[in-house]
Structures are given as C-alpha cells and as structure tokens.
Structure 1
Amino acid sequence: MIVSRFKLCSRIRFQKVSFYSSQSTDSTANLGSNEAQTSTINEHELSKFKAVSNSWWDRNGEAKALHSMNKLRIPFIRDGILSTQVTKAEKAKSNRSLAGYSILDVGCGGGLLSEALARIGANVTGIDAVAENIEIAQGHALADPLLTDLTYITSTVEEHKFNFEGNYDAVVASEVIEHVENPQFFVASCAALTKPGGSLFITTINRTQLSWITAIVGAEYILRILPKGIHDWNKFVSPDELEVMLTSSGFQPVKKHGMLYNFLANDWVWTKNTDVNFAIHAVKTLKEKEVQEAPEKLDEDLSGERQPAATSGVTSELP
C-alpha cells in the first residue's frame, strides 16, 4: 500500500492511500455471515457519491439534511465521549470540550461532520473511499483559518486500520453503513481502530416499510430532497442487526435514539421511534488486563484534578 502525505498551509493535512476494489454484489443475504470478508467497497455506491461530490457544501442542495443533522449528531458524539471518559470539568463546559480527543470520521464525504467536530477541539481524521469527496473536504477546510488538527485521507476503513489500529478515542460512521458491502466486516474494522474503552457512533436508516416510503419514495422521488437512487432499501440495517454486529465486534451498546426529520423546516429532533433514522452509541469493551489497570489510572487522573463525567448508562430510548 502506497501512502503519500501532503501538508497544506501547515494546517489541513491530506493523505492519499491507494486501494484495490473488486466488483461487489448485494450482501444483504449474507448479513452477519462468518465467511471471511476483505472489503467494504461497493463500486455502484461509490459512483453515486462521485456524481454528487460537488454539492456537499450547498446548504440548500442535496446535502442540506446532513447539514441540519449536525444539530443532533454533534452533541450526541460530544456528550457520548465525555460521558465515557475521564474529563476535566472545566473543559467539558468549554467551547472546545473535545480538545485532546482523537476522532475518526469514516465516510466523511465533504467534511460536514469532520469540520464541526474539529471546531470543538477534537483532533479529527476524515477518511473516504471517494477521492473527489476528500478533495472537496480538504479545499473547504483550507478556507477556514480557525480549523486545526484536521486530516483527510482517501482510504477505506479496512485499509486505514493497518496503520492506525487502536488509535482513536472515538470512531464515527454517520449515514455510511447503509452504503457499504459486508456491514459486519465494516463494524469489525471500526472496532480495530477504536481504543479499548473508546466509542463508536453510528447513524443510519432502519429497514422498514416506513423507511421505504419516507426515505426513498418520499425523500428521493416525491420531495426530491435527496438524489434519486442514492439509497438501496435492501442495504438498510435494523437496530437489532446493528447491535448484534456491535457486540460480536467487542462493543457494548449504551444508547440508542430515533431521529425524526421535518423536511418543511429542514430540522431534526430526537424521538423514541427508530423505524426510520436512528443513532447508536457503543463502547469498546475493556480486556481483562485493562479492566484491572483502569482503577489505578482513574486514581492518577483524579489526583491531577480530573473528574469523571457522569455516565449515561444503557438506554434504548430517550429519557
């Protein structure tokens, strides 16, 4: 694997990783299969995003629902990280509450989520298999002199893990898993990149009759707020299926919310209903040795005036 690295304006870092992909077929029938999987690439899905790569930063265009989704997913990720990490109380309340935390944004697209997380202090790496998306993300980030610690890489998640295994405090895959091949392998690759005790955040679409009516027929063909054909209903993953993938990859799901989109107001709200959009936060299980060492580390952190943020516990719906 050939990796070339470019530093631009000494702020935004851009890497390009060569990757090999094979012709993919629908893997829904093999969901959760134990057969060896080696790629998450689906060439047909990649072609969809190459076609719309120039529209990422048009807030009134085809990505406007993703722009407004940041209202939910930024605090969901921020609060999830802070609730499972030992954090200085004053830092948790600051505008840069994620300073010192490393986050991987898988399938970052044009950088809508990556930039927002970097602005609240996180050291963010955004990866995407579509080179055109990375070029858009990198170009947009360079226009903001306040953005620091932001890296973009053209790569798949499975390639990235070869050089960055166990490197991140949190991994985010927002509106991505419904576009990949071998979703179980995708989750396992995310697990390999997450530090023990770290978090994985996934937002996606449930595979229900209601999601077909609203997310595909309604959003793509009637309202046309999404590109036609951008989603394949057969590739949607249910919350139960996703939780099985998470637990089999060493994660403990700790929170699950439904997400409701008001297309008239271009606004998102949390809901108890997960029939269409939903979000899951899972924590990577500590190994036995790490569990034994954790109390000593916590004592050291507390002696340094660090206070643990309150944990949210396991919930399957909104409080």
Structure 2
Amino acid sequence: MNADPSELQKFADMAHRWWDPESEFRPLHEINPLRLDWIDSLCPLNGQTVLDIGCGGGLLSEGMAERGARVTGIDLGEKALGVARLHLHESGLDIDYRLVSAEALAQEQPGQFDVVTCLEMLEHVPDPASIIRACATLVKPGGHVFFSTINRNPKAYLLSVIGAEYLLRMLPKGTHDYAKFIKPSELARHCRSSGLDIAHLTGLTYNPLTQVYSLCQDTDVNYLMHARRHV
C-alpha cells in the first residue's frame, strides 16, 4: 500500500475538525476557492466526471460538485471519509466516496475520468511517482490532471516548515517532512514518463502581513501543475 501509516494516523486524529475553518485545516479552507477557480478556468467543471485523489474530508470534492461536476472522492483514511460522507447530509451534494488507493482504482477503472485532481497529497506518500502513474491511467485520453505540492529548497523549508508550523503555528508541528517535498522539475519528469504533457504551472503564495493567499508566478514554495494525457 502506497501510504505511510503515521501520515494516515496524523490525519485521522484531526479528521473531526476537517470542516472547521478555524482548525488546523484553515489553510485548506482559505486556498480552496483559489484552487477551484484555477481548475475551473482551465477545464470548466460543469458536467465533467471528476476523481479527487486524497480527498480527505471532502473540501475540494464538494467545491467541484457545487460547480456541476460528477465527483468521486477516494482516500485511505477511514475517519476522513466518514467525515466527508457525514458532511453530505449538510451540503445535500451527491459524491461517491470510496476507501481505495489510486493504484487499485486505476486497475479497476482505467481511462474513466475527464478530470483527476491530486492536491496537497504527493508530499505525504512514500512513492509519489506511483500516484502520478495511477492518475495518468485513470484519466481519459486528452483529459486533465491537476497536482499541487511543495517545492524542495531552503526557502520552502523555511516557510512551509519553520514558518508555518513553528513560528506562525498555522499547521501542527510535524505536518510536513521536508525530504518528501517535490521540485517542479521532478513532478514534470514523473508526469512525462507517465504519458502526461505539462500544460500549466503556477505558484501559490501567502502574505503573513495581510494573511492572504494568492496565485502567482512564484513557484519557490507551493505550486500547482496542470497536465494533459496524450491523445
């Protein structure tokens, strides 16, 4: 199984707070509109069949469903999926949440999705290349795949680990392992070797003075990548 038990436990312990915008998941709540708008601008979600890999408590999944997508969300965290399913009673949305790995679903449903998203997940798994290959298998020829993760360099360590976890305390200590951060060049190489063409790359920055996130050209720390599967 391409999952770190300690990572699964870490998110299981926090799962009940997933939909609390003032909890450890506050950064996800604040960047979610930016992520949704970016994805929707590159591939209008209305009517698309979408797979959200590493969906957690369903924040992105619900956002895409609200925009008219038919969403399947998968995760290996049972508690997070339980929270996601429970929140559907509040939102009234129709999302298929499944406890299954990306690799297993790729064998079961190859080429079945118009769009595949895998955001804020690659830096938490032992073998990100395996996830990327699964994404390429799951998406239809010509389909869209969206990733987001954290760059690996001294600036990213300073801001994402020291700054966010220890100084600003935006995230619990130990949320990120610097060794698992992924350079854009590495992610692009994994994509190309899996049959995906890189279409767009954009950065995500946080201003601690204004406490505002924004999309920009600076990919030094957080970044998002859009790829297309070969036709």
TM-score (norm 2): 0.96
Q: How many residues align?
A: 231
Identity %: 39
State the distance in 1 between where 2:147 and 2:12 align.
22
Gaps of 5+ in 2: none
1:67 counterpart residue number: 29
The TM-score with structure 1 as length reference comes to 0.70
Q: In 1, Cα distance between the equivalents of 2:13 and 2:168?
A: 20
Q: How does 1:1-319 map to 2 (within 5 A)?
A: 39-82=1-44, 98-145=45-92, 147-148=93-94, 150-286=95-231
Rounded Cα–Cα distance in structure 2 between residues aligned with 1:170 and 1:219: 31
Q: Residues of 2 paired with 1:41 and 1:201: CA distance?
A: 20
Runs ≥4 in structure 1, deviation > 2 angstroms?
262-267
Shift of 1:267: 2.5
Which structure 1 residue ranges, 5 or more long, are not aligned? Answer: 1-38, 83-97, 287-319
Tell me, in whole angstroms, the C-alpha distance in 1 between the residues paired with 2:33 and 2:209: 16
- CA RMSD of superposed structures (Å): 1.2
Q: Name the SS of the counterpart of 1:67 in structure 2.
A: helix
SS in 2 for 1:228: coil
In the superposition, relative to structure 1, how do residues 66 and 265 fare at CA in structure 2: closer, same or farther (>3 Å)? farther
Describe the SS at the equivalent of 2:108.
helix
Distance 2:200 2:179 in 1: 25
Q: Residue by residue, what CA displacement relative to the aligned partner does 1:269-296 show, whole Å, maximum 9, x if unpaired?
A: 112111100000000011xxxxxxxxxx
Which is helix-richer, 1 or 2? 2
Quick check: which has more Rg, 1 or 2? 1
